[in-house]
Chain A
């Protein structure tokens, strides 16, 4: 067996160019399969990350324009919900009691954007009115001070939590920013807040590094009640809830949607919605999987073409070495010896191609993952499976030529010139 392998490697070395060209088919097939799988994994991981950033356990609640009988919206009229159409704090409190599985309830209210300035130093801030649960739901990481508290919300205090970028830009360091009064110039007014905390800014995976570091806009969190002070509405159009771990998400979403819509039964213009990203994530994942599989199948065809190349070259090799086969038979080689020799050669050819293909595929996959912007991941099973598969190709496509060689009549083979 080992003898046969060594012999086959020798004959591959004797025909370097030919062996390489034959291997090329296998190399292209294997490397494209590996690269497609790796890039597919990376894309899935990247999409999952984006969903995770949004929060796959989050359930978004809110109100939307009611569709008419035909199921379409009247696009000509855009309406703004009246305060009575909106969800009030009392309604939220009742909902919380009706649904004890609600773990967190996060509110956020856009309160405009502006420039925080001290002399010539500035930082772009978008002001968000939030409640304490917002930080937990959106995974805001504090580096110094404290986050918006219940008391801040109750008393509608003029406090703000800014990003470390803002603190750095305006005050030079996080520590010197704490306790400072910050003035944010929006297009309508100058708003003043006391900085009570600094959070760590993390770049969203969805955004590239499009804006320069200096003009980067980061959020400034203020109590939701303070944000409402300038607004004509005191109720909410949307909120996010997170159920306790172990809650069946889709069921929870359906129940809470039914509950809210009951409240809007009599409202002609508005209705409530509740949705989660889980089913979207699942359908996106399954779509990505199908796509990856389809591309991998095309790459698989390349692999089969490569296998046929191996078979072709083995047939040529058998014809070329007919006389040698005759000599071997005269020296006492049984059919099985000859068959094994040629199968081993085909396997050596395709397995070598397979290994080179894996190296190339991993390299391509890394480049691809880098472009997609997700970490490169490849399971050892994929690699092992590919090596085994390429060896299988060798056996499968090598067997017919090998058997042809083995079945040669000794004297005919020996006389062949």
Chain B
């Protein structure tokens, strides 16, 4: 599914202020894997995630997503990849403030050109799956953090993408709510066989994942199975 070879990301390249954020990443993730990406702040986790999500481009190196070399695509083709193949979940939820939960979930489908009736049906179904059916018409400001993140997950799933990219989805939540969100990801992985990349600070959550990749200073320093994979969260 994801093939990265010798990927570098530098800012201010060829100037005295040059910063290397990704320093030769080789990473291969197969279809249906659940991978936790851990590392300290500034280790390059988010940059890696943004490149995988076709939001950002590597300075050098190769990256293929589902067999497609991403560097060669045009802006609109990248937009289409983000729309159809990838679902983003952010730490700060990033819901559109003036749109209801339902409209937020419909948004990726609007960009995909799905018919209005089909859009509404699918958005409702997804929100029901997230146990949010009673708050469909609420605006983001009327929802709690956990509820917002559930709407965001529903939105990420709207166009049935192959990959879910979650950048510290539990980071802004208390541990109890964070665990609930984690359970949702585990359930999606189990039931829908989606490829999931999950950035987290919490070693406890990371160890629940089948595979844990650790970054340090823009390099992968460890890539092994989670010690508590398939285990249970304690409340």
| Residues on A facing B (Cβ under 8 Å) | 3, 7, 10-11, 14, 323-324, 327-337, 410-411, 414
Contact = CB atoms under 8 A, between A and B. Distances in A.
A245 B96 CA distance: 73
Contact of A332 (B50, B96, B99, B112): B112
A332 B55 contact: no
Contacts of B50: 411
Nearest to A336: B76
A20 B159 CA distance: 38
Interface in B72-93: 75-76, 78-80, 82-84, 88
B13 interface: no
Contact of A3 (B76, B83, B110, B112): B110
Contact of A331 (B56, B75, B155): B155
A332 B76 contact: no
B234 interface: no
A336 B74 CA distance: 14
B148 to A, nearest CB: 13
Interface residues of B, number: 25
Interface string B26-64: 000000000000000000000000100101100000000
Given A3-B110, A332-B80, 6 more contacts: A331-B88, A333-B111, A334-B76, A334-B111, A335-B79, A410-B56
A332 B98 contact: no
A165 B174 CA distance: 94
Nearest to B84: A332
A329 B98 contact: no
B94 A335 contact: no
Interface string B139-155: 00000000000000001
A335 B75 contact: yes
18 contacts: A7-B99, A324-B96, A328-B107, A329-B55, A330-B82, A330-B88, A330-B94, A331-B83, A331-B155, A332-B79, A332-B82, A332-B83, A334-B75, A334-B80, A334-B111, A336-B76, A337-B111, A410-B55
Which of A10, A329, A330, A334 has the most chain B CB within a 10 Å cutoff? Answer: A330
B55 A327 contact: no
B178 interface: no
A329 B96 contact: no
Chain A, interface SS category: helix
B55 A330 contact: yes
B74 to A, nearest CB: 10
Chain B, interface SS category: helix
B108 interface: yes
A352 B55 CA distance: 36
Contacts of A333: 79, 83, 111
Interface in B175-224: none
Contacts of B78: 410
Nearest to B158: A331
B108 A11 contact: no
B147 to A, nearest CB: 18
B83 A335 contact: no
Nearest to B88: A330
Contact of B159 (A3, A7, A332): A332
Contacts of A329: 55, 79, 82
A224 B50 CA distance: 103
A14 B56 CA distance: 32
A323 B92 CA distance: 12
Given A10-B98, A11-B98, A331 B53 contact: no
B76 A414 contact: no
B122 to A, nearest CB: 15
B79 A414 contact: no
B98 A331 contact: no
A10 B83 CA distance: 24
Contacts of A328: 96, 107, 111
Contacts of A323: 94
Contacts of A14: 98
A414 B111 contact: no
Given A3-B110, A328-B107, A414-B55, A334 B79 contact: yes
B92 to A, nearest CB: 9
Contacts of A414: 55, 94
Contacts of A10: 98-99
A331 B83 CA distance: 5
Contact of B111 (A11, A324, A332): A332
B111 A327 contact: no
A414 B167 CA distance: 13
Contacts of B98: 10-11, 14
Nearest to B81: A332
B90 to A, nearest CB: 8
Nearest to B155: A331
Nearest to A14: B98
Interface string B93-136: 01011110000000110111000000000000000000000000
Nearest to B87: A331
A337 B96 CA distance: 15
Which of B55, B76, B78 has the most chain A CB within a 10 Å cutoff? Answer: B55
B143 to A, nearest CB: 16
Nearest to A10: B98
A323 B76 CA distance: 19
3 smallest beta-carbon distances between A and B, as pairs: A332-B83, A411-B56, A334-B79
Contacts of B75: 334-335
A331 B111 contact: yes
Contact of A411 (B55, B94, B108, B111): B55
A374 B174 CA distance: 74
A246 B139 CA distance: 74
Contacts of A3: 110
A334 to B, nearest CB: 4
B174 to A, nearest CB: 23
A330 B93 CA distance: 12
A404 to B, nearest CB: 15
B125 to A, nearest CB: 18
Which of A7, A11, A324, A331 has the most chain B CB within a 10 Å cutoff? Answer: A331
